[in-house]
């Protein structure tokens, strides 16, 4: 199996795979098998099955986010059915913009932000910058919910091992949070630099 | 309560060739007496500039810095010097210029004129003992470990009994346990001695010891988002609601 573990439509972790497929269709129209290949080459970390991609397409069409482009070529799919080519509707484009601007659940932040970075177009950068900055602020708020570490106690034999273990796990959470905040800050810095250069370039061009 | 230190819409930039390099952008921050404020920022985030502006070592490009309600920009040089001598403690990591100086003399130096050598020495030894660096009293800077140097630097800043303490990256190069010791010391300077303490640090575990946390990125100071209603923390497996 090429595309990792099989997922049902509701059981992928909180990340919105619907928007990933939608984003690919905003880039250019495509048909089922084509999208499976694009998902596989650019979003292999999501581990989506072929079946799942077809189900997502079905869902997207029912919701009116994508539409059948109307060019059917017989025998296009490996199943011999007519191949249906989809494109994003204007409603779909709107929903995609909203998704870019919506902060992700912390548990799927890394994957979802990877997907957003991957699918954004230059005109999505302001929303991407704003949402990334907001996620950084959420991480700082999360810092306030963590316990103050006293790792010095870990080394003290009088402290029960169970307590020591909890402190070490807390320490991992903190380090993970730091890595995340640093990554988010770096993304913001780079996007902002790029936006400044884009506006410099457009100001200096005749 | 009136803040001890207030930065109000402070900006600062330098010219690098034809381009303006904005180091601080619209930074506002209060530090009260008895409060330990931590600023998280990586290299290049602007944290050292922020501390230098807060200390009055550099003037802001725009915006206002007040110490105890007084606009630092407007005061005479002599009064600013007095502020640095009495009220604002800067934790200097570079150590003494003279390599021959024992640490008791280094820490005592700034008090010589005010209280005389004997009393200055006595206070210096007491300050070193207070931070747990009494062993360093007769040592030279070059023979000290990074931890001992940081403790001496804190004693050097505390000996004049300032009201505000400014610390740049105090945990650099320290072991996990020594980091806690140093940051714990800063917290107790705020809680026990009632100082306002402002620390900038690229180290998340150190931030947890502060009463207030901010993040500095691209010269902007970000307040944490409002905590989520469920009290925060990681939701490991949110429902399938957001998936297709």
Asked whether residue A98 falls in the same domain as residue A125, the answer is no
The CATH number of whichever domain residue A54 belongs to comes to 1.10.10.10
User: Could you tell me if residue A2 is inside a domain?
Assistant: no
Please state whether beta strands B62-67 and B36-40 pair in parallel, antiparallel, or not at all (unpaired): unpaired
Residue B236 is predicted with a pLDDT of: 36
- Residues of chain B short of pLDDT 50, as ranges, are 230-244
Express each pLDDT in A2-38 by its tens digit: 333 333 443 345 678 899 999 999 999 999 999 999 9
CA angle A23, A25, A26 (to 5 degrees): 65
Is position A114 within any domain? no
> ipTM score of the complex?
0.82
pLDDT digits 0-9 by tens, B156-167: 999 999 999 999
pLDDT surpasses 80 at A172: yes
End-to-end CA distance of chain B: 52
Domain ranges of chain B: 5-97+162-227
Q: Does B42 sit within 8 Å of A185, measured CB to CB?
A: yes
pLDDT of residue B219: 92
A138 and A189 both lie in a single domain: yes
Q: How far is A87 from chain B (nearest CA, A)?
A: 18
Starting at the edge strand that comes first in sequence, how are the strands of the sheet with B212-217 ordered? Answer: B88-90, B164-168, B196-201, B36-40, B212-217, B220-222
Domain boundary among A73, A103, A133: A103
Nearest CB to B244: which of A59, A107, A177?
A59
Are A38 and A97 within one domain?
Answer: yes
Given a cut of 80, whether residue A117 has pLDDT beyond it is yes
* Whole-number Cα distances in Å, A194 to A28, A187, B218: 24, 11, 13
Spell out which residues of chain A touch residue B213, defining contact as CB-CB under 8 Å.
Answer: 140, 143-144
Please check the confidence at residue A144 and state whether its pLDDT lies above 50. Answer: yes
Question: Tokens 């003279």 identify what position?
Answer: B98
- Rounded to a whole number of angstroms, the distance from the CA of B185 to the nearest CA of chain A is 13
Cβ contacts of A136 on chain B, cutoff 8 Å: 215, 217, 222
Structural domain boundaries, residue A84: 17-103
Rounded Cα distance between B133 and B93, Å, is 15
Query: What pLDDT is stored for residue B74 in this prediction?
Result: 78
Residue at a domain's end among A72, A103, A134: A103
Residues A40 and A96 in one domain: yes
A21 shares its domain with A99 = yes
DSSP H helices, chain A, are 17-27, 32-42, 50-62, 90-101, 109-119, 125-143, 161-204
Considering the domain architecture, whether residues A85 and A23 belong to the same structural domain is answered as: yes
Q: Give a yes or no: residue A64 inside a domain.
A: yes
How many CA atoms are closer than 13 Å to the CA of B23, on its beta-carbon side? Answer: 20
Look at chain A and report how many structural domains it folds into: 2
pLDDT of residue A1: 29
- Do the domain assignments include residue A3? no
Quote the pLDDT of residue B178: 94
**What is the CATH architecture assignment of B5-97+162-227?**
3-Layer(aba) Sandwich (3.40)
Q: Per the CB < 8 Å rule, is A143 touching B224?
A: yes
Q: Are strands A85-88 and A30-31 parallel, antiparallel or unpaired?
A: antiparallel
Nearest to A144 among B42, B224, B239 (CB): B224
Q: What is the mean pLDDT of chain A?
A: 85
Q: Which residues of B touch A (CB under 8 A)?
A: 40, 42, 45, 176-177, 180-181, 203-205, 207-209, 213-215, 217-218, 222-228, 231-244
% residues pLDDT > 70 (chain A) = 87
Question: Among A103, A138, A153, which residue terminates a domain?
Answer: A103
- For residue B205, what is the nearest residue in chain A, using CA coordinates? A174
What distance in Å separates the CA atoms of residue A27 and residue A118, rounded to the nearest whole number? 11
Query: Are A81 and A127 contained in the same domain?
Result: no
Model pLDDT, residue A135: 92
């Amino acid at each position: 199996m090429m595309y990792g573990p099989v997922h049902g439509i509701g059981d992928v972790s909180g990340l919105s795979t619907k928007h990933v497929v939608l984003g690919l269709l905003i880039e250019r129209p495509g048909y089922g098998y084509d999208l499976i290949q694009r998902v596989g080459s650019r979003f292999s970390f999501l581990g989506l099955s072929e079946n799942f991609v077809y189900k997502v397409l079905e869902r997207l069409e029912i919701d009116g986010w994508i539409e059948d482009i109307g060019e059917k070529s017989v025998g296009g799919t490996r199943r011999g059915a007519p191949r249906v080519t989809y494109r994003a509707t204007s409603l779909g484009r709107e929903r995609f913009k909203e998704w870019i601007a919506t902060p992700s659940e912390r548990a799927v932040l890394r994957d979802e932000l990877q997907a957003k970075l991957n699918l954004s177009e230059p005109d999505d950068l302001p929303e991407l910058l704003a949402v990334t900055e907001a996620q950084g602020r959420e991480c700082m708020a999360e810092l306030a919910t963590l316990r103050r570490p006293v790792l010095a106690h870990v080394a003290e034999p009088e402290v029960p091992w169970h307590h020591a273990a909890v402190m070490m796990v807390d320490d991992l959470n903190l380090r993970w949070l730091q890595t995340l905040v640093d990554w988010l800050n770096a993304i913001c810095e780079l996007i902002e630099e790029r936006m400044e250069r884009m506006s410099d370039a457009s100001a200096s061009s005749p | 309560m009136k803040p001890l230190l207030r930065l109000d819409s402070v900006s600062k930039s330098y010219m690098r060739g034809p381009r303006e390099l904005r180091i601080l952008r619209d930074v506002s921050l209060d530090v009260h007496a008895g409060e330990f404020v931590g600023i998280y920022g990586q290299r290049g985030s602007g944290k050292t500039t922020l501390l230098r502006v807060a200390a009055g070592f550099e003037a802001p490009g725009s915006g206002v810095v007040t110490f105890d309600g007084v606009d630092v920009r407007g005061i005479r040089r002599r009064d600013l010097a007095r502020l640095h001598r009495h009220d604002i403690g800067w934790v200097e990591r570079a150590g003494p210029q003279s390599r021959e100086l024992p640490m008791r003399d280094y820490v005592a130096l700034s008090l010589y004129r005010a209280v005389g050598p004997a009393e200055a020495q006595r206070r210096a030894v007491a300050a070193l003992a207070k931070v747990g660096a009494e062993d360093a009293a007769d040592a030279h800077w070059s023979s000290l470990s990074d931890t001992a140097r940081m403790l001496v630097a804190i004693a050097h800043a505390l000996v004049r009994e300032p009201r505000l303490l400014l610390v740049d990256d105090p945990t650099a190069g320290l072991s996990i346990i020594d980091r806690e010791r140093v940051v714990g010391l800063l917290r107790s300077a705020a809680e026990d001695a009632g100082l306002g303490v402002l620390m900038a640090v690229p180290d998340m575990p150190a931030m947890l010891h502060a009463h207030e946390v901010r993040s500095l990125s691209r010269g902007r100071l970000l307040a944490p988002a409002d905590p989520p209603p469920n009290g925060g923390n990681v939701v490991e497996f949110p429902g399938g609601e957001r998936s297709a």
